[in-house]
Structure 1
Amino acid sequence: MDKPIQKSRTILVINPNTSTHMTNALIPILDNLGHGGIKFDYFTAPASESVKLPDGCVIHGVPSIDSGEDSVRSAFYCMPFLEPLVTEYDGFIVACFSAHPLVGMLKEKVRSIEDEKVESVPSDMKVQKKYVTGIFEAAVLAALGVIGSFHTTKGPGFQKAQSRDTFGIISTGKAWEAELTQAVADMLGASGNQTSRFAGVETTGLTAEELHTTPPAEVKKRLVEATERLIRASPNPVGAICLGCAGMVGMEDAVREGCVRVYGRPRGNQVRIVDGVIAGAGMLATACKAGF
């Protein structure tokens, strides 16, 4: 019996800053993943436009998102350009490693479209869903997936306990240390801003833009050193590290070197390095095909 032909799905990868070279760096990475039946398109925040907010304030595109305030500003700026595109795509990845409001804005728009479809189609027909994620959310979920495991424990009877492994984040400017720490706690529902599964955030001191304008040797040095600091500061084993910026795509080797310097080669090579862009693409590809 012939297998049913699966419909091709399209996913829009959104760079909410105006730096086209950051977007261009993502294209070969995602196109080479081999997600059959999935087509990736790309959006970069326009550099020469302006957006007027309801309060009358006029804002422009953000060339480099280097704080929580920048992520909010870029969300308000990008949404008017993205809103007409929501009906055209099956999935959306917000390629900024932050608690980016654009993820929530797009999800609200998707829900309103799905609600309208539910009202207009027969009750026995399934409404095709759309999916949204940010690379921050995707990376945290992927990291938890690779470090999480239950083990048996010594003692009377049959007992089990969760692995002590943690995950951490290597990001850009120092402002992200508190911002991302709080975002992880909020996402995981932790009390305060701490969770036992999270090793914390270390930063390079470079902006997202400077990752591509600073000499590569200096960028690598800072990534290695930030990774070393992260691991040495953690009281529990670090089993996964998230690349905390879309601009870090392709920089896994520097993070790996930092792991090896602290843990030695065998154990350092076992630390999982999570790219949120790749994690988000895989998550949405699966969701589109499965119809979650």
Structure 2
Amino acid sequence: MTTHFVRQTTRILVLNPNSSASMTHGVEEAIRGMNLPQSTEIYTYTAPADSPASINDGDDVLRSSDIVYKNLTASGTLQQYDAVLVACFSVHPLVERLAQLDGPRGKLVVTGIFEASVLSSLALLKPPLQNDPPRKWGIVTTGKFWEAHLTEGVNSFLGTDANSVNDKFAGVESTGLEAGDFHGGVDPAVVRQKLIEATQRLLSKGTVECVVMGCAGMAGLDEIIRSAAVEQYGAEQGNRVFIVDGVRAGVGLLQQTVRNKELFQKA
């Protein structure tokens, strides 16, 4: 009897580098709403208990990177996956570190929700008509620390410097909340109001067509941002604003990148 290989799946690990299981659950709910081919399998990972429960500054970013990297390399878990999505909206060292490791089909394909959101937003912006002001994208995030961190990250990722004028980037506005506040840490009415205020500050910076949810903990809160856009721009324009969820953007990007790697790289 002879058996034949028929179909190869793409296995993606969505990696939450903090230790909050509730945040991983929110990420899972966002993924369940995606229309993915049956050949794409998605798995989630929550960092060990000694990783920060909420990543709120640069120290938390570095600490989570070291803990998760040690855990994953010791367990050999990554050898089961073709691609990894780092579900922390930051310039997270795990993106670069994990991309050096091997999966079942060579080097792992790795991105973060930050990088995936930048690429998705740029792809979604319509080209401006002649003499019109540039159409923009921007980020709504949590604490004040992230305003500078993410602005610097955008410049680095796009190859620009701090002195360059990026007409398409409206910037970063913060809510003053922490990631854990979006899932039970703070009164939902307070969360809603702070998210609306930050979104409207961003939308006031020109013709903003894409608003990026700059925290994995914001998964599922896109309707709050939508309501802010409608209030700021009116129903017609507000409902046309793209609200970019980094987790969904990352999963879609990785799925296509794994395919592109096979298409365009010599075996």
TM-score (norm 1): 0.81
1:207 aligns with 2:195: no
Does the CA contact (< 8 Å) of 1:35 and 1:285 recur in 2? no
Aligned to 2:92: 100
Q: Distance in 2 between matches of 1:72 and 1:196?
A: 31
Which AA in structure 1 matches 2:62?
Answer: V
Aligned to 2:166: 195
Aligned to 2:64: 74
Q: Distance in 2 between matches of 1:129 and 1:75?
A: 19
Which AA in structure 2 matches 1:18?
Answer: S
Answer with 1 or 2: which has the greater Rg.
1
Q: Distance in 1 between matches of 2:209 and 2:35?
A: 26
Aligned to 1:19: 20
Q: Secondary structure at the match of 1:137?
A: helix
Q: Distance in 2 between matches of 1:190 and 1:20?
A: 36
Q: Distance in 2 between matches of 1:32 and 1:252?
A: 13
Aligned to 1:158: none
Which AA in structure 1 matches 2:112?
Answer: G
Aligned to 1:272: 242
Aligned to 1:142: 120
Q: Distance in 1 between matches of 2:139 and 2:10?
A: 31
Which AA in structure 2 matches 1:140?
Answer: V
Identity %: 40
Deviation at 1:44, TM superposition (A): 0.6
Does the CA contact (< 8 Å) of 2:128 and 2:134 recur in 1? no
Does the CA contact (< 8 Å) of 1:68 and 1:98 recur in 2? no
Deviation at 1:210, TM superposition (A): 1.4
Aligned to 1:44: 46
What does 1:206-225 correspond to in 2, within 5 Å? 206-212=177-183, 213-225=185-197
Does the CA contact (< 8 Å) of 2:101 and 2:107 recur in 1? no
In structure 2, the CA distance between the partners of 1:274 and 1:254, relative to structure 1 (3 Å rule), is: same
Q: Distance in 2 between matches of 1:237 and 1:102?
A: 34
Q: Distance in 1 between matches of 2:33 and 2:230?
A: 27
Does the CA contact (< 8 Å) of 1:95 and 1:277 recur in 2? yes
Residue 250 of structure 1: which of 206, 220, 234 is its match?
A: 220
In structure 2, the CA distance between the partners of 1:150 and 1:199, relative to structure 1 (3 Å rule), is: closer
Aligned to 1:174: 144
Deviation at 1:284, TM superposition (A): 0.9
Unaligned runs of 5+ in 1: 48-59, 115-126, 155-160
| Structure 1 segments of 4+ aligned residues over 6 angstroms from their partners | none
Which AA in structure 2 matches 1:44?
Answer: T
Does the CA contact (< 8 Å) of 1:202 and 1:227 recur in 2? yes
Q: Distance in 1 between matches of 2:59 and 2:226?
A: 31
Q: Distance in 2 between matches of 1:170 and 1:17?
A: 20
Higher relative contact order (CA closer than 8 Å, sequence separation 6+): 2
Deviation at 1:5, TM superposition (A): 4.2
Q: Distance in 2 between matches of 1:89 and 1:210?
A: 31
Unaligned runs of 5+ in 2: none
Deviation at 1:129, TM superposition (A): 5.3
TM-score (norm 2): 0.89
Which AA in structure 2 matches 1:66?
Answer: N
Deviation at 1:63, TM superposition (A): 0.9
Q: What's the RMSD between the two structures over aligned residues?
A: 2.0
Q: Secondary structure at the match of 1:98?
A: coil
